[in-house]
A and B are shown apart, each in its own frame.
Chain A
Amino acid sequence: MEILLVEDTAADAELTTRALHKRNLANHLVWVKDGAEALDFIFATGAYAGRDIQNSPKVILLDLRLPKVSGVEVLRRIKGDARTRAIPVVVLTSSREDIDLAACYALGVNSYITKPVEFDEFARVVGELGLYWLLVNKVPGG
């Protein structure tokens, strides 16, 4: 498992997956559909109780607008826990003007993608960021 995609919109999840697939980055991708499920997965609780917490994703692609637990809250929990703090988190925002973006910076987001309407552009930025965090960036102990 290399990428955790936290995305409630199925269409966006598919577009993201396709964009990563184009760069051969989607082979080890896990998709969770809301903030609560994301936290369960990351901290190996609830439905994911049996999962090895050490086996953390190389990058988390996090949508900000999520049901149950918001993306900002998920980010706060990841960056507030020593076991998960080092996992790179890339925030996916609907637009550059998203009011939650400032909060993400304060919480130590590693990077963000504004999801463009145009797919070619969307595929390009998602692909580049995936490539960067998976192949170029060296996570300590990762």
Chain B
Amino acid sequence: MKYPLPALIDLPRLQQLMDTLYQATGINHALIDNDSVVHTAVGWQDICTKFHRVNAETCARCQESDRYIKDHLGDGAYVGYRCPQGLVDYATPVVIEGEHVANIFTGQLLHEPPDIEAFRQQARRYGFDEDDYLEALAKVRILPKERIGEIMAFQVQLAQMLAETGLTRMRQLEAEEDLRRLNRDLQQQVDAQMHALRQLNAELEQRVSNRTEQLEAANRELEEFSYSISHDMRTPLRAVAGFARILLDEHGARLDPEGRRLLGVVHDNTVFMGQLIDGIIEFLRLGRCRMECQTIDVGAMAREVFAQRVAAVPERTVRLTVGELPPAWGDPAMIRRALENLLSNAIKFTRPRAEALIEINGRADAGESLYCVRDNGVGFDMKYQSKLFKVFERVHAPGEFEGTAIGLAVVKRVVGRHGGRVWAEGKIGEGAAISFSLPGKGKQSESGR
């Protein structure tokens, strides 16, 4: 049997039922499986349990009865057997799905009053205590053979009912097992797929990390290359500028005005190229220099920078107002460079104004400090906003405003290395506002080189 009997039949309920039946009718009961395990029993007779089954010789006869009954059992029927000891047993099989799993016994009874003398002899033959044996015999129920049919009809129905509930229970157990197996298989599949997914993810991450590393190395190499080229270009450039200047100074008198003008163009452009190169070198350096951060009073630093810058244009009227600013956490030299560029731009692009107004405002917001430098200068067209922070990108006509067009790229790089953002708003003829954010102390994650 695939399942043990207790799994298929509610044995405590059966025991209860049989107890009640025994009390009401004196019909005894036992459910015994094919391995001779007794699962439920009530009303078993002392004459069997204390005498016949104890003595080896009589027990052998009992077992012979068991065998006979087992061998002659058929589904839906019952069999009776009179044992050599003189008692009668009846049994009917419990068959679940074609498998004979157990037998229901009733019996250890007599059909007619016993022949006392024969039992007395039997006691003597097997060495039973005569009085005890006869007392046990007296307890044996005497039931006319005619009554057996109806009792066994009950027992057969009981066996069929047990078979049916057993089958139902078996199907349920099988279904549960199938479900468990299915669940296990499914879980295994899910586990396998999850494992594969995790592995794939790890591989992907490794690849991204490798690629990032390669890109960063390539970028570093490129920057170093640019840096060294920029550096080396200064030497020939110095010669061109220097000798153009000397030519102009020492031999200018021998050139006509156009010749002198042309030489001046050579000189001025060489000097301008020198400024561009210095701008690139600074821009590259700001991308890789070590940062030493501390708390910075941005307002004080801005006033200082402004005073220096505005001193270079004494003919202009430029007013600076600084609002309440949150302190910044950053590298002072780098932040100063950003402010120098922002204020230089503001001073430069307000040149057409009789009174130039520059305003710096700020506020703390969600762990970061925000700053905005606003001017009433010539402004810019918002459609060029994305070009504003790129190296060498101009949003004004060439010659209109001097400069290398690196200033805002420097600002972006400084802010980026602090983990902040930059953005710009403006309108032609109505000024520009450049804003940037700096994360608070401990919140920096260097980015945006």
* SS class, residues of chain A in contact with chain B: loop
Check A117 against B246 for contact (C-beta < 8 Å): no
Check B242 against A119 for contact (C-beta < 8 Å): yes
Give the tally of cross-chain contacts (CB within 8 A). 56
The answer to whether A119 and B241 touch (CB under 8 A), given A95-B278, A95-B281, A97-B285, is: yes
- B287 shortest CB reach to chain A, Å: 12
Does B270 sit at the interface, judged by CB under 8 A?
Answer: yes
With the chains together, A110 CA to B243 CA distance in Å?
29
Q: Mark A108-128, 1 if CB is under 8 A from B, else 0.
A: 000000011111101000000
The answer to whether A15 and B238 touch (CB under 8 A), given A94-B231, A117-B270, A119-B246, is: yes
By a beta-carbon cutoff of 8 Å, the part of chain A in contact with chain B is: 9, 11-12, 15, 18, 94-95, 97-98, 115-120, 122
Check B231 against A15 for contact (C-beta < 8 Å): no
- B217 shortest CB reach to chain A, Å: 19
User: Could you list some 21 contacts between A and B, CB below 8 A?
Assistant: A11-B242, A11-B243, A15-B238, A15-B243, A95-B234, A95-B278, A95-B281, A97-B231, A97-B281, A97-B282, A98-B231, A115-B234, A115-B238, A117-B237, A117-B271, A117-B275, A118-B245, A119-B241, A119-B246, A120-B245, A122-B238
CB neighbours of B49 from chain A (8 A)? none
With the chains together, A115 CA to B242 CA distance in Å?
11
By a beta-carbon cutoff of 8 Å, the part of chain B in contact with chain A is: 231-232, 234-239, 241-243, 245-246, 270-271, 273-275, 277-278, 281-282, 285
Check B238 against A12 for contact (C-beta < 8 Å): yes
CB neighbours of B278 from chain A (8 A)? 95, 117
- B386 shortest CB reach to chain A, Å: 29
CB neighbours of B241 from chain A (8 A)? 117-119
CB neighbours of B246 from chain A (8 A)? 18, 119
With the chains together, A12 CA to B236 CA distance in Å?
9
Check A117 against B238 for contact (C-beta < 8 Å): yes
Check A11 against B234 for contact (C-beta < 8 Å): no
With the chains together, A18 CA to B243 CA distance in Å?
11
Check B234 against A117 for contact (C-beta < 8 Å): yes
The answer to whether A15 and B242 touch (CB under 8 A), given A95-B231, A115-B234, A117-B237, is: yes
CB neighbours of B242 from chain A (8 A)? 11, 15, 119, 122
CB neighbours of B270 from chain A (8 A)? 117
- A135 shortest CB reach to chain B, Å: 25
Check A15 against B239 for contact (C-beta < 8 Å): yes
